């Protein structure tokens, strides 16, 4: 009798349907931007300064991981992008376009994004009273104070390679924040950007194809700023 029970259990086990594979992170998101490439930057919670950057391809109706790397966030963690305030050292959560790439160093091999090479005259204006707020400028405009702007060439290691994150970029919102990038790691947490090791940044630039409309989603594992909300 025991032999028959064991045999029956084994046969039932063989006939059971396999458990479905868990849905990938992009498949659980509310929106991925409509393209066939996506970057996710996920932190454990809003107080975290580290997490994971993953880049994904849409293939055969599914999202497939193309690569991943450890990521760093703002020194004060993350904040909802729609209500974030400038100068808080928080990384804004949300789903954003990637307008173009830039760098202190030459364009990495394989880069397809438009790539702006930093010069000694390159600045990113963050002055709320300037017409060029949240814009790259060659030569600092008279209405943009140097104390309220980043001299890009002075950030040789972090800005060796970077992608502009479209946070308030198309329609700048003064006081919300400016100069949010995906860039190479510096010495520690960022002032509000997302950063990764240099080899990962080069890999992302070689992978990203503007024709496939990649976006970046930044968020947490759960809660009001969960990455799956965006």
* pLDDT tens string 37-86: 999 999 999 999 999 999 999 999 999 999 999 999 999 999 999 999 99
* Cβ neighbours around 7 below 10 Å, total: 10
Q: Which residue has the tokens 């809660």?
A: 223
pLDDT of residue 7: 42
Is the pLDDT at 180 greater than 80, yes or no?
yes
77: left (phi over 0), alpha (psi -120 to 50) or beta: left
Q: CA 83, CA 225: separation in Å to the nearest integer?
A: 11
What is the rounded distance in angstroms from the CA atom of residue 188 to the CA atom of residue 72?
8
Band the pLDDT of 11: cuts 50, 70, 90: very low
- Give the distance, in angstroms, between the CA of residue 45 and the centroid of all CA atoms in the same chain: 16
- The mean pLDDT of 171-192, rounded to a whole number, is 97
Q: In what order do the strands lie in the sheet with 149-151?
A: 135-138, 122-125, 149-151
For the four alpha carbons of 129, 131, 134 and 140, in that order, the dihedral sign comes to: negative
Average confidence (pLDDT) over 105-128: 98
Mean of the per-residue pLDDT values of the chain: 93
The percentage of residues in the chain with a pLDDT greater than 70, rounded to a whole number, is 91
Q: Which residue has the tokens 């503007």?
A: 210
Collapse the DSSP code of 62 into the 3-class scheme (helix H, G, I; strand E, B; otherwise coil) and give the result: strand
Decide if 120 contacts 139 (C-beta within 8 A).
Answer: no
pLDDT given at position 22: 80
**pLDDT for the residue numbered 18:** 61
Q: What is the mean pLDDT of residues 196-219?
A: 98
Which CA distances in Å does 65 have to 34, 57, 77, 115?
Answer: 17, 6, 25, 25
């Amino acid at each position: 009798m025991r032999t028959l029970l064991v045999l029956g259990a084994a046969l039932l086990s063989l006939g059971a349907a396999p458990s479905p594979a868990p849905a990938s992170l992009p498949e659980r998101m509310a929106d991925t931007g409509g393209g066939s490439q996506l970057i996710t930057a996920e932190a454990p919670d809003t107080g975290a300064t580290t997490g994971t950057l993953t880049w994904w391809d849409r293939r055969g109706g599914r999202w497939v991981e193309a690569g991943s790397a450890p990521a760093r966030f703002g020194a004060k963690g993350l904040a909802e992008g729609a209500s974030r305030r400038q100068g808080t050292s928080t990384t804004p959560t949300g789903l954003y376009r990637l307008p173009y790439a830039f760098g202190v160093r030459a364009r990495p091999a394989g880069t397809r994004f438009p790539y702006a090479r930093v010069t000694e005259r390159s600045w990113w204006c963050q002055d709320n009273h300037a017409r060029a707020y949240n814009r790259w400028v060659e030569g600092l405009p008279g209405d943009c104070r140097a104390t309220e702007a980043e001299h890009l060439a002075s950030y040789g290691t972090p800005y060796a390679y970077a992608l502009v994150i479209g946070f308030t970029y198309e329609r700048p919102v003064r006081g919300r924040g400016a100069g949010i990038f995906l860039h190479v790691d510096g010495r520690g947490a960022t002032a509000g950007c997302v950063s990764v090791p240099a080899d990962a940044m080069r890999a992302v630039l070689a992978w990203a194809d503007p024709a496939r409309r990649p976006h970046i989603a930044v968020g947490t594992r759960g809660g009001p700023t969960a990455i799956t909300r965006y």
